Amino acid sequence: MTDEYAVIGNPIEHSKSPQIHAAFARQTGQDIHYGFLLGDLEEFEADVDQFVANGGRGLNVTVPFKERAFRYADTLSGRAREAGAVNTLTFSDGGVHGDNTDGAGLVRDLTCNHRFQIEGARVLLLGAGGAVRGALRPLLDERPAALVIANRTADKALSLAAASAARGAVIGCGLDDLVGREFDLIINGTAAGLAAKVPAIPDECLADGGWTYDMLYASEPTAFVSWGRAHGAVRALDGLGMLVEQAAESFLLWRGVMPETASVIAALRTA
Ligand code: ATR
């Protein structure tokens, strides 16, 4: 019997997840169907209940429901607990398990697809919302020389850094505090790009030979990809690879097999 999966969000119609998981299923011979669900802003939990009652096996969860999925789950992975957000729900007789594959997807894209060595690098993470919370632990696990979280509202970055201090060399600050500092990798996890803006960071904070990474993806270069190019980034990457890699991590959780991602990223890039 075909197993049912879907992505739930609001809005959802532009999601590429159904296409990505269909490619994974074809490639690995898994008998699944993956659709999309427009979640009701008031009745998200009822929508998930219904999906489960219809025999659904798993959901990916996207904006704006990741915190609600976190509360919906009966059990949580360590990385979901630290992120305070869930992007992958698995339904089984054992109940509802919540995980978060976003940060692992980011790290896999950087280290496996692009061969960027995070270990020993000075990394700047911009923002302090859900996207950054999800990325923190997987980034710290790679043992960067320093990880600075900088946010428009400095207090939020300070508390995030304080909460992760036991995991590695991490500090939080405001965007103004970046003057005079240099980084080998700058990751944009803010929502500024949704308004075609970039966070107000100093022009000089990208080191010679440095890379930039925007967690956002769009068919045109994002505002932060353009910032990276204009400021001499060796590579100015967008979040397409992260999108496919977080999907692959979810597929692995659900089906026990890791799909090959390069061809899927390439197909989406040319589409
Ligand atoms: P998400 O869950 O997608 O990360 P969020 O929790 O709303 O979204 O967080 C959005 C992040 O983008 C925040 O860090 C926000 O900064 P503030 O905490 O100061 O609000 C950041 N952000 C949004 N617009 C921005 C802009 N124009 N410049 C800089 N940072 C911005």
Q: SS3 for 127?
A: coil
Report the pLDDT value the prediction gives residue 33, as an integer from 0 to 100: 98
Distance in angstroms (rounded) separating the CA atoms of residues 211 and 168 = 21
Same structural domain, 164 and 206: yes
Same structural domain, 70 and 140: no
Can you tell me which residue has the tokens 């990457």?
237
Q: Is the link from the previous residue into 11 a cis peptide, with omega within 30 of 0? A: yes
Report the pLDDT value the prediction gives residue 271, as an integer from 0 to 100: 85
Report the pLDDT value the prediction gives residue 94, as an integer from 0 to 100: 81
Count of structural domains, the chain: 2
> pTM (2 decimals)?
0.95
Same structural domain, 15 and 40: yes
The residues annotated with a catalytic role in the active site are 66
Residue 152 domain-assigned (yes or no): yes
Residue 248 domain-assigned (yes or no): yes
Question: Each residue of 145-167: pLDDT tens digit?
Answer: 999 999 999 999 999 999 998 88
Residue 30 domain-assigned (yes or no): yes
Pocket test for ligand 1, best of 152, 197, 201 (most atoms within 8 A of CB): 152
Same structural domain, 145 and 250: no
Task: Provide the domain limits for residue 249.
Answer: 3-101+242-270
Residue 107 domain-assigned (yes or no): no
Residue percentage of the chain with pLDDT more than 90? 94
CATH number of 253's domain = 3.40.50.10860
Same structural domain, 128 and 219: yes
Q: Is the dihedral of CA 41, 46, 49, 53 positive or negative?
A: negative
Ligand 1 pocket list (CB less than 6 A): 127-131, 151-153, 156, 190-192, 197, 199
Cα of 126 vs centre of ligand 1, distance in Å, is: 9
Same structural domain, 153 and 57: no
Same structural domain, 134 and 226: yes
Which H or E run contains 9?
strand 3-9
pLDDT level of residue 235 (50, 70, 90 thresholds)? very high
pLDDT level of residue 168 (50, 70, 90 thresholds)? confident
Which H or E run contains 249?
helix 240-255
Cα of 256 vs centre of ligand 1, distance in Å, is: 35
Residue 138 domain-assigned (yes or no): yes
Question: Which among 144, 189, 190 has a CA at the least distance from the CA of 167?
Answer: 144
Cα of 128 vs centre of ligand 1, distance in Å, is: 7
Beta carbons of 76 and 86 less than 8 angstroms apart: yes
